[in-house]
Structure 1
């Protein structure tokens, strides 16, 4: 008996400790404190194209390192193929060995006359899509976390879709975060194909007989302070990218203007050293999200890991860029399919109505239990109050988020909690009618009602766990509250309620009649 008393007291004290103060300990969901709800779609075509371009660049580098001269290595993003043309007859065997050793993700077809076509294998396409979704989820998590959003929800919508649900409760500046999530954060270093910038794309075409030279691309610059832009002709080959960066942070130059300082990893240092050594005197464009931030000249080999990106940044823009570089690039463009904003006043109104509904339900149920089961109803009501306390304590302990459907889960828990008591009390009444003593009736009532109580609650718990696993947003909030409520109900109905009966019997050893 003493052990039971100590256990219940400690558990109750622990619940109070984790709950108080509730404004700090109970996390409120989007629908209760306001915020933004978004559904984003990962554009898989972009992810496939990026992977294809990366494979093409790697193949070009390997062919150059192995001294295999070819006429052209060209990517076809529409058909997800790489075309290699003009392999000399004496290099065919070596080229095919390179394909076997380094391009195992591709099916290789020999088109004759030294031409080859490489296309992604079916399994690789599935793997790229899978990795793109995984990277998108991780990157969005990292970017949102950097803004200090409390208890965000970021998860895939469905098992096989390319959509991501993002819920950011209590967000003060949704525009800035939306901008951060919509920009891929692609950072690339490419050599300029023409030494100078151009005033327009037409000027570039005019300087090249009306067409873009093979192996090159046209990119605009970031807008200058007066809003003007220039255009650059750059080579297709990516010398370095954001994956070569170890860390990045907001900094400033000698004039106090915002910049982004970054540190390259070991592979990045090696690549940067090779590029600046082999292409001394040329210009290297720094491209962020398809815009040239700057294009400095390479004056000497650079072997250090530390560098910085300068441009026409505000403090917020430089901080956002550093966040994107630290969190990694998104694998593809993100399209906003849905966006809803919930104001904090609507959330407060929902809390007020939810609390009122819960209290009304609690009072009605407690009143019924007192009316129908007399003194035993006090037992059930005390267990019900402890049930609510343990439920809130469990939510605070596990850092669960309370949503509007979660409040509905609270109300449902009230009914389920007394349902167990009803089953047990009716069994006890039946045993008393059969002539058993109060102690024997209590023992038999709990024993015979146990299977029904467990069956009903465990089957509901299984359903709640499925809702938690496959549900999103509010559905998940309901599942969390319901699951914790079921566990708390089982404990209070089976353990705490029985303890109250034992306490009553211990106080009156020769009790002849139960008020039930």
Structure 2
């Protein structure tokens, strides 16, 4: 008994001290608000504070192409196409399993002797440590699943870093079950620019440097394909749509209105247009400028050489990006590269002395500077008439590194707060009034033990709030419901124990023996444990399978159940035994 009481007192003092510290340091009592700048605070969810919710889809197709070193095997590409179609029909389908089944079916239909571990698929040099020529499909699938899981974890970390740099506190970023989708919840009524946030999250940060073709080199090609373009598109001239007469810079080959962007892109990438390319332009690729200039987009022509590793510098080679201002107050982005990137940049600038180079991020041209000297220190600058916001966003993307694969936002919702500041204040007051009347009723019905039940309930509230604040948890409407449910279960446990004590006293059992019997498995404890553990298991299942509000409810439910198990069975018993020892008796009769 002494050991049990010592344990109860020790745990109660420690928990109370820690929880009160977190509560008092995070709440502005005068304004009924939470302190924003605290490291530990109770964050309000979207339904209480408002904000933005979005679901991002991770491209497993791009990951598989990456792991296969962009294999052009027709069975591989056909299996990817089949998996894409299945994914459109059912977004929750297991993409990898369907891809492998489709690959095996296509291989069987074509009667070809090719495996997933073939050198031109996943048995390539990049995967040589894990995949061998004779590796089974099961081994390849296990390897791919591991790589995909690691990529998704990496994406979550990069997205969290980008959001943190954006200045949004405590974002909720979680994977939806075991799918390739990520749920992001950003709370705060100040989050208004959805397009800006989507742009930051979707950027892959694939950085490249390309040689460029000049305006004079490309115009003859446009003249050649002009008649072909007129026949295909409403007899309009491609020369007119590209606004050739308005171009004043030698490295810009077109100035296109946004309404013609898709038409120009589709045409220049069509087989017919590519067949008209002269030999000296066989490696040309047309890219758009990143900036919208009064509904016009710049078009650039760059030289693509897939075998030239010197042009490929990805976002992971950037060690630091920062902005600076020129004497004319023009913003520039300064990029510092790692050792590998510095070597490639040195070779590239040495090769292109006096020429224009395109600095490309995620297939958009950000700047086309002229190389005036060999750069050996891994530094480069991007001038692009950036606004402060644009420069900050670009620095954010470059500093957080390259995403392993492309992602896209498939669903977005801007949620207004259901409760305003005044409503929350009134809610707190009404909650305190309700607690007061519960205390009065329990005291009226159970006398002094009822008062102790109220004190136990008060400790419950302190412990739950303190633990939630220490976790930097997000409180939502369902989370509040979970707290209320656990408080009710705590009070119900006290009532079960008191009724069992009353029953024993009526049967002429001594008071101390009645208390001990009621807190035993033969008494009320078995019913309490049964109800609490059943609810706890439900909470764990909801936490594991649920997302968003459901997980918020289950979090507070699990914490509340564990706390109420301790307070109702240990702390409540301590109060009763202490009272009996001090006053030798107490009453559990109704008062009329």
Same fold by TM-score, threshold 0.5 exceeded? yes
2:301 to 219, 226, 232: 232
| Counterpart in the other structure of 1:351 | 424
Separation in structure 1 between the aligned mates of residue 148 and residue 14 of structure 2, nearest angstrom: 50
| Counterpart in the other structure of 2:358 | 285
Separation in structure 2 between the aligned mates of residue 342 and residue 393 of structure 1, nearest angstrom: 27
Q: Please list, as runs of the form range in 1=range in 2, the aligned pairs for 1:32-181 lying within 5 A after superposition.
A: 32-48=48-64, 55=69, 78=77, 101-102=125-126, 104=128, 126=145, 129-159=148-178, 161-175=179-193, 176-181=196-201
Deviations 1:464-506 (A, max 9, x none): 1232233211111111211121122112212221121122122
Deviations 1:412-452 (A, max 9, x none): 11211012112222222232223222122112221233333
Separation in structure 2 between the aligned mates of residue 102 and residue 9 of structure 1, nearest angstrom: 57
Contact 2:46 2:417 in 1 (8 A): no
| Counterpart in the other structure of 1:329 | 402
Separation in structure 2 between the aligned mates of residue 297 and residue 512 of structure 1, nearest angstrom: 92
Q: Which range moved further: 235-244 or 488-497?
A: 235-244
Alpha-carbon distance change, 434 to 80 in structure 1, aligned in 2, over 3 angstroms: closer
Aligned-residue offset at 1:179: 2.8
Contact 1:294 1:311 in 2 (8 A): yes
| TM-score (structure 1 length as normaliser) | 0.79
Instruction: Write 1 or 2 for the structure with the bigger share of strand.
Output: 1
Contact 2:486 2:557 in 1 (8 A): yes
Task: Give structure 1 stretches of 5+ with no counterpart.
Answer: 57-72, 82-94, 109-120
Contact 2:288 2:297 in 1 (8 A): no
Separation in structure 1 between the aligned mates of residue 451 and residue 269 of structure 2, nearest angstrom: 87
| 1:502 correspondence with 2:577 | yes
Q: Which range moved further: 424-433 or 221-230?
A: 221-230
| 1:399 correspondence with 2:419 | no
2:549 to 474, 491, 511: 474
Alpha-carbon distance change, 107 to 276 in structure 1, aligned in 2, over 3 angstroms: farther
Separation in structure 2 between the aligned mates of residue 410 and residue 420 of structure 1, nearest angstrom: 15
Task: Give structure 2 stretches of 5+ with no counterpart.
Answer: 28-33, 36-40, 81-118, 134-139, 218-249, 255-263
Separation in structure 2 between the aligned mates of residue 411 and residue 290 of structure 1, nearest angstrom: 52
| TM-score (structure 2 length as normaliser) | 0.70
1:339 to 404, 407, 412: 412
| Counterpart in the other structure of 1:217 | 285
Contact 2:580 2:586 in 1 (8 A): no
Separation in structure 1 between the aligned mates of residue 474 and residue 535 of structure 2, nearest angstrom: 20
| Counterpart in the other structure of 1:187 | 207
Separation in structure 2 between the aligned mates of residue 384 and residue 103 of structure 1, nearest angstrom: 59
Separation in structure 1 between the aligned mates of residue 79 and residue 10 of structure 2, nearest angstrom: 68
| 1:412 correspondence with 2:430 | no
Contact 1:36 1:168 in 2 (8 A): yes
| 1:302 correspondence with 2:410 | no
Alpha-carbon distance change, 267 to 364 in structure 1, aligned in 2, over 3 angstroms: same
1:484 to 550, 559, 568: 559
| Counterpart in the other structure of 2:456 | 383
Alpha-carbon distance change, 197 to 123 in structure 1, aligned in 2, over 3 angstroms: farther
Separation in structure 2 between the aligned mates of residue 437 and residue 203 of structure 1, nearest angstrom: 95
| Counterpart in the other structure of 1:242 | 315
Q: Which range moved further: 295-304 or 415-424?
A: 295-304
Alpha-carbon distance change, 47 to 102 in structure 1, aligned in 2, over 3 angstroms: closer
Separation in structure 2 between the aligned mates of residue 303 and residue 504 of structure 1, nearest angstrom: 81
| Counterpart in the other structure of 1:462 | 537
| 1:272 correspondence with 2:338 | no
Q: Which range moved further: 229-238 or 492-501?
A: 229-238
Separation in structure 1 between the aligned mates of residue 541 and residue 389 of structure 2, nearest angstrom: 42
What SS does the aligned partner of 1:149 have? coil
| Counterpart in the other structure of 1:453 | 528
Aligned-residue offset at 1:236: 4.1
Alpha-carbon distance change, 512 to 171 in structure 1, aligned in 2, over 3 angstroms: closer
What SS does the aligned partner of 1:414 have? helix
Deviations 1:99-126 (A, max 9, x none): 8645648999xxxxxxxxxxxx666654
Separation in structure 2 between the aligned mates of residue 332 and residue 434 of structure 1, nearest angstrom: 73
Please tell me the root mean square deviation across aligned C-alpha atoms, in Å.
3.7
Contact 1:245 1:265 in 2 (8 A): yes
| Counterpart in the other structure of 1:87 | none
Would you say how many aligned residue pairs link Structure 1 and Structure 2? 471
Aligned-residue offset at 1:210: 2.3
Separation in structure 2 between the aligned mates of residue 155 and residue 174 of structure 1, nearest angstrom: 22
Contact 2:200 2:397 in 1 (8 A): yes
